Amino acid sequence: MIKVENLTKRYAGQSAIKDLNFEVGQGEIMGFLGPNGAGKTTTMRILAGFMPPTSGRATIAGFDVFSQSLQARARLGYMPENVPLYNDMRVNEYLVYRAALKSVPSRRVAERVGDVKELCGLKEVEKQLIGTLSKGYRQRVGLADALLHEPDLLILDEPTIGLDPNQIRQVRELIKNLGKQHTILLSTHILPEVEMTCGRVIIIHKGRIEACDTPDNLLGKIRQAGGVVVEAKTASDNGAEELKKIPGVRNVMTAVDGEWKIFSLRVESGLDVREQIFRLATDRHWAVRELTQRRATLEDVFVELTHPDLV
User: Which residues here bind another protein, judged by CB under 8 A?
Assistant: 11, 45, 48-52, 70-71, 73-74, 76, 78, 80, 82, 84-89, 97-98, 100-103, 142, 145
C-alpha 216: how far from chain center:
14
Within the chain, residue ranges assigned H as helices are 40-47, 69-74, 91-101, 106-120, 135-147, 165-178, 191-197, 215-221, 240-244, 274-284, 298-306
Q: To the nearest whole angstrom, how small is the minimum distance from the Cβ of residue 239 to another protein?
A: 57
What count of residues does the chain have? 311
Closer to another protein at the Cβ: 60 or 305?
A: 60
36 or 236: CB nearest another protein:
36
d(CA 258, CA 281): 19
Smallest gap, in angstroms, from Cβ of residue 218 to another protein? 30
Strand, helix or coil at 80?
A: coil
Answer for the pair 160, 144: CB distance below 8 angstroms, yes or no.
Answer: no
Output 87 or 217, the one with its CB closest to another protein. 87
Pairing of strands 183-187, 153-157: parallel
* Closest by Cα among 280, 281, 268, 283 to 228: 268
Nearer to another protein, 76 or 265 (CB): 76
- Our CB check for another protein shows the closer of 49 and 207 to be 49
Minimum distance of another protein from residue 46's CB (angstroms)? 10
